[in-house]
């Protein structure tokens, strides 16, 4: 009986993981829809990794919609991805914010992991469902050509992690006390939080709980 129960839980976990992989596997497609409740708002839906061609898709969409909308909502569901592409996306969002209101959100049962979090932090209003999932961890190095993980020396890992933390979290709206706690915890670990936990803990990552 115990063995059957364990097998059932294992199969359930596998199905959930495969379903999430299917949702994320959107080949970098950006879906754009006007907000039905506000004619001055357009929503950019991203359901894929933070990777090429995300920045280009955002730039093209902004060029198309910047004269048609005053506000842009970036609706995210992403497992994270490449730091380089994430930085390019952040630069595009910076350009948007010069002339438009830009908000971010992660909706019911959606996820924002790793490099997705710095992108989420770019929103002026950052909304999330109570059960939205967020994950924080130190960056991992990958070979540019093969895509395989690189086993860096420990001092390089520390340097890369410190640089990432300072660039995306120190210079962000994140609450400083909460941020210090994250830094103390995240070394060598994945830190998982729900939208509700981030709100209840005063992280200032999520500003509106849906």
What CATH number should be reported for the domain holding residue 125? 3.90.226.10
Confidence label for 98 from pLDDT (cuts 50, 70 and 90):
very high
Three-state SS sequence of the chain: CHHHHHHHHHHHHHHHHHHHHHHHCCCCCEEEEECCCCCCEEEEEECCCECCCHHHHHHHHHHHHCCCCCEEEEEECECCECHHHHHHHHHHHHHHHHHCEEEEEECCCCEEECCHHHHHCCCCCEEECCCCEEEECCCCCECCCCCCECCCCHHHHHHHHHHHHHHHHHCCCCCHHHHHHHHHHCCCCCEEEEHHHHHHCCCCCCCEEC
Please return the burial class of 173, using the count of CB atoms within 10 Å of its CB with bins 0-12, 13-18 and 19+: middle
- Residue 129 in contact with residue 107, Cβ under 8 Å? yes
Average pLDDT over residues 123-150: 76
Examine residue 99 and state whether it is found in any structural domain, yes or no. Answer: yes
Confidence label for 187 from pLDDT (cuts 50, 70 and 90):
confident
Confidence label for 145 from pLDDT (cuts 50, 70 and 90):
very low
Examine residue 8 and state whether it is found in any structural domain, yes or no. Answer: no
* pLDDT value, residue 206: 98
Is the confidence at residue 141, as pLDDT, over 70? no
Examine residue 187 and state whether it is found in any structural domain, yes or no. Answer: yes
Examine residue 7 and state whether it is found in any structural domain, yes or no. Answer: no
**Confidence (pTM):** 0.84
Query: How does pLDDT run across 102-131, given as a tens digit for each residue?
Result: 999 999 999 999 999 999 999 999 999 999
* pLDDT value, residue 22: 44
The more confident residue out of 72 and 12 is 72
* pLDDT value, residue 161: 84
* pLDDT value, residue 63: 97
Quote the CA–CA distance of 8 and 163 in Å, as a whole number: 42
Examine residue 2 and state whether it is found in any structural domain, yes or no. Answer: no
* pLDDT value, residue 157: 66
Of 14-28, 46-60, 82-96, 157-171, the range with the lowest mean pLDDT is 14-28
Examine residue 6 and state whether it is found in any structural domain, yes or no. Answer: no
**Tally of structural domains, the chain:** 1
* pLDDT value, residue 156: 63
Examine residue 5 and state whether it is found in any structural domain, yes or no. Answer: no
The boundaries of the domain holding residue 194 are 23-209
Helices 83-99/54-65 angle, 10° precision: 10
Query: How does pLDDT run across 27-85, given as a tens digit for each residue?
Result: 578 999 999 999 999 999 999 999 999 999 999 999 999 999 999 999 999 999 999 99
pLDDT more than 90, % of the chain: 71
Is the confidence at residue 154, as pLDDT, over 90? no
Straight-line distance from the first to the last Cα atom of the chain, in angstroms, rounded to the nearest whole number:
40
Examine residue 162 and state whether it is found in any structural domain, yes or no. Answer: yes
Average pLDDT over residues 94-98: 98
């Amino acid at each position: 009986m115990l063995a059957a129960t364990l097998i059932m839980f294992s199969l359930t976990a596998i199905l959930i993981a495969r379903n999430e992989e299917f949702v994320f596997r959107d080949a970098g497609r950006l879906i754009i829809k006007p907000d039905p409740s506000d004619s001055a708002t357009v929503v950019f839906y991203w359901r894929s990794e933070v990777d090429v061609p995300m920045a280009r898709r955002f730039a093209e969409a902004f060029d198309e919609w910047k004269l048609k909308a005053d506000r842009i909502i970036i609706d995210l569901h992403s497992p994270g991805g490449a730091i380089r592409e994430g930085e390019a996306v952040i630069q595009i969002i910076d350009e948007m914010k010069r002339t438009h209101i830009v908000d971010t959100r992660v909706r019911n049962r959606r996820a924002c992991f790793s490099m997705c979090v710095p992108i989420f932090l770019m929103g002026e209003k950052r909304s999330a469902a109570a059960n939205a999932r967020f994950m924080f961890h130190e960056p991992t190095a990958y070979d540019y050509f093969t895509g395989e993980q690189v086993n860096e020396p420990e001092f390089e890992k520390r340097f890369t992690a410190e640089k990432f933390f300072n660039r995306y979290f120190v210079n962000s709206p994140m609450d400083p006390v909460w941020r210090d706690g994250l830094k103390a915890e995240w070394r060598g670990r994945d830190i998982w939080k729900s939208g509700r936990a981030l709100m209840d803990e005063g992280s200032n990552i999520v500003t509106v709980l849906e």
